[in-house]
Amino acid sequence: MASTNFKKRTPEEQWKIDRSRIHATKGKVMKANPGYSDDNYRDLISNVSDGRCESSKDLTPSQRITLIERLSILAGEDDKPKRTWTKKSYPKRPKNMDTPGESRDAQLGKIEALLTIGGLSWAYADAIAKQMRLADKVQWVAEKDLFRIITALTKKAQKEGWDLSGAK
């Protein structure tokens, strides 16, 4: 695997990038706060540099980042944290996947109805549970995993053309 060598930016190149960010954010602050003046901006630079400089050009790279962060706060911009995907917020996930109130009895009743329509015994459902390595019998499968057996039976029903007109 070939390694990619990235060119490190020179201080002048980094200053050009930081400068444009500083001035853009300063403009946003002035738009958000009409009373914000250049004197306020100079005071902020002096505060960030601990009184060592009055121009953003004289700031160190870490001080520039601090200045940009403080200006962003003044402009009312929120630093949005990176989104972490949870089971419920995953994109394009069906909204009805985790129906609240779906009790164990209701799920077992659904399995029983599908078995009856297909003319299959509970041993068939037990075999599905065992094949999926959930448990040896459907009765022992955790409530959160019963939907897997329902899905398997529903797919078999669609494949074999069972009459599911009364199913919800």
Count: domains in the chain: 2
Residue 117 domain boundaries: 104-160
Are 111 and 153 in contact by the 8 Å Cβ rule? The answer is yes
Instruction: Quote the pTM value.
Output: 0.41
CA distance 121 to 69: 66
pLDDT at 3: 58
Do 70 and 110 share a domain, yes or no? no
Report the C-alpha gap between 87 and 37 in whole angstroms. Answer: 47
In a domain, 118, yes or no: yes
Is pLDDT of 103 > 70?
A: yes
* 119 Rama class: left (phi>0) / alpha (psi -120 to 50) / beta: left
Q: Is the pLDDT of residue 1 over 60?
A: no
Nearest Cα residue to 36 out of 70, 66, 61 = 70
pLDDT on residue 84 = 56
Do 113 and 69 share a domain, yes or no?
no
Whether 24 maps to a domain, the answer reads yes
Over residues 41-96, the pLDDT tens digits come to 888 888 888 888 888 878 888 888 888 888 888 877 665 555 555 555 545 544 44
